[in-house]
Amino acid sequence: MLRLNDVEIEDTYAELFNMWAGRVLITAENEKWSRIAAEVATGYASSIIGSPAEAGIEGDVSPEETPDGRVGKLIQIYHHSRAELKRQMISRIGQCIMTCPTTAAFDGLPRAKRRLKVGRSLRLFGDGFQRRDEIAGRRVWRIPTMEGEFIVEDSFGAMRAVAGGNFLILSESMEAGLEAAERAVDAIRRNVKYVILPFPGGICRSGSKVGSMKYKLPASTNHPYCPSLRGIVPDSKLPPEVKSVYEIVINGLDLESIKKAMREGIRAAAEVKGVVMISAGNYGGKFGPMKVFLREILEQPA
């Protein structure tokens, strides 16, 4: 049995799958407005099960690294369908970034071979007054707005990325579990690039299983991990002392980044007193083609 800081690590794996991803670099006059635009543009996007997309904030970009020399935020947007990803990017850039004071939107995957005509579609909002330009070698559109103008890159890259990285934090109390989950999120955001945590604050309290035993639903509550159902359902997977379970879900541009994020998050969570076990969500290998075994990633050096 593998243990980490006296926390049991279940010998199991997370089940991952591919999705199409787009990456948007938002710049603004200051950090406040780049953050607001990023938060709004990634809203209602925790899980493709019920949301129109999966999305999250990847991190900050310094003015030295942005095309227009302003502060920036990177966001990622995911969907099973490339066509639907394009629609989501048009909607979220148009409704959430273009409307936000001082912002501009640039492609965060300039080397991607697949291109989505996002800015080219949004240019029509300019009602014929839009004009083509170039910034730092990037083809952009300048769209007149009441504030001044909105700059958006002509096309955005799309790539096959990875979704569904996860681990479960089983704890003696809600307080201990939440502290562990928060520490895990902080460690991932501080130490890992190219990933997002799509759930609110990076934490999911309502993990799901595929399908439903009673209703015609694509997903329903993960009853084996619900503490209130222990003793009621025959297939509970919770030890007697576990009173709360939180899930950390991770999407990323590549599998290695997700593995690193899981490793960083698990190690941070296991430092909290009251955490009993770390596990992971999977569907017996029937849902996703990729498996990340907890033992393997934790036996690798930090």
Q: Exposed, middle or buried: residue 63 (CB in 10 Å: 0-12, 13-18, 19+)?
A: exposed
First to last CA, the chain: 20
Contact criterion met (CB below 8 Å) for 16 and 162: yes
DSSP state letter for 47: -
Whole-number pLDDT of residue 44: 98
Burial of 298 (0-12, 13-18, 19+ CB in 10 A): middle
How far is the CA of 165 from the CAs of 14, 120, 206, 253, in angstroms?
6, 33, 16, 12
Given this model, what pLDDT does residue 114 score? 98
Angle at 90 between CA 24 and CA 146, to 5 degrees: 90
Number of C-beta neighbours around residue 150 at 10 A: 27
Closest C-alpha among 101, 32, 94 to residue 60: 32
CA distance 255 to 19: 12
| pLDDT the model gives residue 46 | 97
Determine the pLDDT at residue 232.
Answer: 96
Q: Give me the sign of the Cα torsion angle 240, 246, 251, 257.
A: negative
Amino acid 286: pLDDT: 67
* pLDDT for res 302: 64
Cα 43 off chain centre by: 11
Block mean pLDDT (10 aa), the chain, length 302: 93 96 98 98 96 98 98 98 98 98 98 98 98 98 98 98 98 98 98 98 95 92 96 95 98 98 98 98 79 94 68
CA distance 213 to 207: 16
Q: Do 243 and 172 meet the contact criterion of CB atoms below 8 Å apart?
A: yes
Concatenating the DSSP letter of every residue in 236-253 gives ----TT--EEEEEEEEES
Domains of the chain, each with CATH number or no CATH: 2-15+161-298 (3.30.70.520), 20-159 (3.30.70.520)
Question: Residue 148's closest CA among 126, 132, 127, 133?
Answer: 126
Tokens of 46: 């925790």
**Per-residue CA distances from 42 to 24, 83, 91, 269 (Å):** 11, 18, 11, 25
Q: What is the pLDDT of residues 120-148, one digit of tens each?
A: 999 999 999 999 999 999 999 999 999 99
- Rounded Cα–Cα distance for residues 45 and 53 (Å): 5
E-state strands within 136-274: 138-144, 149-153, 156-171, 195-196, 208-210, 219-221, 244-252
**DSSP label at 233?**
B
* Residue 230 CA: distances (Å) to CA of 98, 100, 227, 234: 49, 47, 5, 8
SS3 content of the chain, % helix, strand, coil (to 5): 30, 35, 35
Q: pLDDT tens, 40-69?
A: 999 999 999 999 999 999 999 999 999 999
**Alpha-carbon gap, residue 302 to 189, rounded angstroms:** 16
